[in-house]
Structure 1
């Protein structure tokens, strides 16, 4: 049971850690001030969109 749970989590560990990192960066920027928080969310959204496009083009899903 526990081994199966770890196998499932291991498949998605990169995504989980990415979201935890993004949340920590955004929270830290909001602690600095509100403007830095919103700028960080915008930058994170742009980086995520760029990475998604790179992954999609490598798999050839656009053709």
Structure 2
């Protein structure tokens, strides 16, 4: 059974490469161990998450 996004003609999600996985691991480690105030840690997490989503979307668009 196809998902709703597949039925709607949405592109398949961009695949993560080994570099993407390593970058995510490093960012997670930095956010976990950096001497940041909780509010600043949250702001950076949201900003990095948005950037990752946008990068994946650009990669998916480039693969069309």
Higher percent of residues as helix: 1
Cα RMSD for the two superposed structures: 1.6
TM-score by length of 2: 0.61
TM-score by length of 1: 0.62
Q: Which runs of 4+ in 1 moved over 4 A?
A: none
Where structure 1 has 5 or more consecutive residues not aligned to the other structure, the ranges are: 1-11
Where structure 2 has 5 or more consecutive residues not aligned to the other structure, the ranges are: 1-16
Aligned residue-pair number: 48
